[in-house]
A and B are shown apart, each in its own frame.
Chain A
Amino acid sequence: MAERVLMKGNEAMAEAAIQAGCRHFFGYPITPQTEVSAYLSKRFPKIGGTYLQAESEVAAINMVLGAASAGVRAMTSSSSPGISLKSEGISYLAGSDLPCVILNVMRGGPGLGGIQPSQADYWQATRAPGHGDFQVLVFAPSTVQEMVDTIFRAFDKADEYRMPAMILADGMLGQMMEPVSFPEGKADTQKEKPWAANGHGFKRKQNVINSLYLNPAVLEQKVRERFERYAQIQKTEQMAEEFMMEDADFAVVAYGASARIAKSAVVAARAEGIKVGLVRPITLWPFPTDALQKAAAQVKGFLCVEMSMGQMIDDVKLAISCSRPVAFFGRTGGIIPTPGEVLGEIKKLAGGAK
């Protein structure tokens, strides 16, 4: 087995990107993703990679667009306000069918908000990461090891489906230190990219990377083709963890950092005899509808826990067609819910019932 090392979440994601074959990173400084950039700026010059500190997030995402057009694995990382600036580029990347990986180490908002951990960019990531009809793959790891595994998966899936992949983390996961191991021999899983604009060398026809279709019928067709791919992804790429769900009468739904807290609360509730489990979405788009529907067939009610005013709860209700009551507990602005608070909410949901 691969050696285990103790690493911070942000640094582990950066190292995983290198090991996944990424040699092009473009970013603009922002807390709390700082360690990602710092790590890559140290490592890339030694291994022939490009670390480029751009003049803005707008420029950074467009550099990613250029590098992705050339057919290489490219990444950018930022935090909430910076992701807003990237949304133009993300839309163009999606409209040009380009793969890339975008990290959002979320902080409190709106506006400049704060720098403490938050999950308030769920809607932005899953509903409107930019203008137009499109989706990006959204992953929400909840341990440092999972952050590593997710980076590999995000690059692979972005290449496979030719679309951007976003990893939603937060300041808590980014700063947390945990032991991790890196999968061996995974770096060369990159796909051939015959569509890349890298100079035709008179060996093939011209390649054009483009999102402009002035003919509405052609544009509609393009979007429909993309949505067929999305439908396929929704069938095959959902990921969720089910924890203590076998005999559960109630289910907590939480992702990322809040899932860690929810897990502690579930364990504490079990100790008090409440039959509760946790469904933890690992992909936020595609949302793990199957796991939620399975849970809905079994439990009396759900509790959605988020570090926001309640955003993922929309998807929980949609997934189960509102067939069960869905309660909500959230803290926002950078405040992390405590296991005790979540336990209190579980008890309320269970109505004190054992």
Chain B
Amino acid sequence: MAVVYEKPKSLSDAPLHYCPGCTHGIIHKLVAEVLDELKIEGKTVGVAPVGCAVMAYDYFTCDMVQAPHGRAPAVATGLKRALPDQVIFTYQGDGDLAAIGTAETVHAATRGENITIIFVNNAIYGMTGGQMAPTTLPGQVTQTTPYGRDIHTAGFPVRVCEMLSTLDGVAYAERVSVDCVPNIRKAKAAIKKAFTAQIEKKGFSIVEVVSSCPTNWGLTPTEALQWLRDNMLPYYPLGVYKDKTEEGVR
């Protein structure tokens, strides 16, 4: 019988600890499929964040390093400088990447560090129980913005792809979503392109994945995906923000 679907080899058999309906699982699968298709699992080192994906090392079967909160791009830089021919990626949430780790993110990007970042933007701090994230939308209710994010006191959300695309070191920045099958397909293509750019030493690559956190948004999985479409996509438009994957950044 022909095999029509298989779990990617770069994903272990460990049961995922993510909440039901959480999109982290889909994103893990896409990354693992890309590692399989590019045949790079054996030469890849992944960097896990502090956030819901902290135990990504249990799921990805490549070598893994668990980084301090926000420091994954610096850890990845150290790995890449020591292993210039291996493939290095980080997998980070929005608090990790765009709050505590903003400096590490921006500087890895501007150095044109030849690494790939998978950035999971779910507009909230999932792991710690749903506090405001740097990407929390204006008016969005979280545990620490109980009256909705007030732009007068809490300021505005960070649009990471737009910000990073101004930097010369960035070869590829695309924002995708995993809210529906067509978008999941596009997300996978983007992730593959980002890893390919790294393999070809074109510079820094980032794929921002707009995702959901049904648990802390207080919605069912399907409601959460609809909320994502209605609220997040208008603020975080999908698309390619930077593409220098042909010519490279240097």
Contacts and interface: CB of A to CB of B under 8 A. Distances in A.
Contacts of B55: 212
Contact of A69 (B54, B62, B79, B104): B79
Nearest to B79: A66
B54 to A, nearest CB: 6
Contact of B83 (A60, A198, A203, A209): A198
Contacts of B41: 202
B67 A65 contact: yes
Interface string B131-149: 0000000000000000000
A199 B67 contact: no
A165 interface: no
Given A54-B107, A212-B66, A72 B74 contact: no
A62 B63 contact: no
Interface string B35-55: 000000111110110000011
B165 interface: no
Interface in A62-85: 62-72, 74
A60 B74 CA distance: 7
A181 to B, nearest CB: 30
B2 interface: no
Which label, helix, strand, loop or mixed, suits the secondary structure of the B interface? helix
B75 interface: yes
A210 interface: yes
A277 to B, nearest CB: 45
User: Which one of A26, A50, A201, A209 has the greatest number of beta carbons of chain B within 10 Å?
Assistant: A209
Contacts of A55: 103-104, 106-107
Interface in B77-135: 77-83, 86-87, 103-104, 106-107
A239 interface: no
Contact of B79 (A54, A96, A197, A210): A197
Given A89-B68, A212-B55, A199 B78 contact: no
A65 B78 contact: yes
B68 A56 contact: no
A197 B44 CA distance: 9
Interface of B: 41-45, 47-48, 54-55, 57, 61-68, 71, 74-83, 86-87, 103-104, 106-107
